[in-house]
Amino acid sequence: MDFSTWEPVYEAILADFGYDRAADERVRDLLSSLYQATDAEPYEPEAAAFAGQTVAIAGAGPSLSAERKAVRRADAIVAASTAADRLMEAQTSPDIVVTDLDKHPETVRELTNSGTPVVVHAHGDNTAAIREAVPTFDCEWVLPTTQAEPVGPVRNFGGFTDGDRAAFLADALGADRLVFPGWDFDDETVDAEKERKLTWAERLLYWLEGRRDDHFNVLDGRRDAIDTKALPP
């Protein structure tokens, strides 16, 4: 996604949560420097890696276990954060993992060491995780991302949470159809901030759906209640 298209949405997210853009940029620059210090060739997925494919965007919600068949029926799997751990425990290997290292740097290390691509995301409050974990990864299998303006090897495909960023990535790689096992917008076990993030994830999927002229079943019964004021026309 061109950053000029993403930037107004990014600014709306910053305003809503009170996040500091400069903090995002500092951690982006840290990730860039750590990545470049490894001397790894930047991981670059094929532009049409998912062309013609149904891609499961696996969320880490409670419903993932019950919806595992939908994951297995897909041609490819992009797992959001700890959905990767749960899939691997069930003997299902994701094709790509998207994470901000919030909970599972050890899993990410294992994945990169085994040649599974991991999209590692920098944002304003994961400095410690980036600084400590990234140098331990096989960065030939790391795709560094930011929600701020991309610089150097650090990319921005659009999206905010691990889940919706996974969907934007799959779209950028030419996915024909997206399915969403393990997505629970109404998960009552999450805290207030996570609930607000899920609201944004829903909003961004609605935007992506429109950009693709698509229909995401995960939004069925929800579209009329989605606040779209912050989204581009």
Annotated domain spans of the chain: 3-221
Q: How far is residue 173's CA from residue 154's CA, in Å, rounded to a whole number? A: 17
pLDDT of residue 42: 77
Contact between 88 and 106 under an 8 Å Cβ cutoff? The reply is no
What lies within 8 Å, CB to CB, of 55 at 6+ separation is: 74, 75, 76, 77, 78, 170, 175, 177, 178, 179
CATH class of segment(s) 3-221? alpha beta
Identity (one letter) of the amino acid at 155?
R
For residue 152, give the DSSP letter: T
Q: How far is residue 158's CA from residue 148's CA, in Å, rounded to a whole number? A: 9
Q: Could you list the mean pLDDT of each consecutive 10-residue stretch along the chain, which spans 233 residues? A: 96 97 98 94 92 98 95 98 96 97 95 97 97 96 98 97 98 98 94 95 98 98 96 90
Q: How far is residue 71's CA from residue 155's CA, in Å, rounded to a whole number? A: 27
What lies within 8 Å, CB to CB, of 47 at 6+ separation is: 173, 174
pLDDT of residue 130: 97
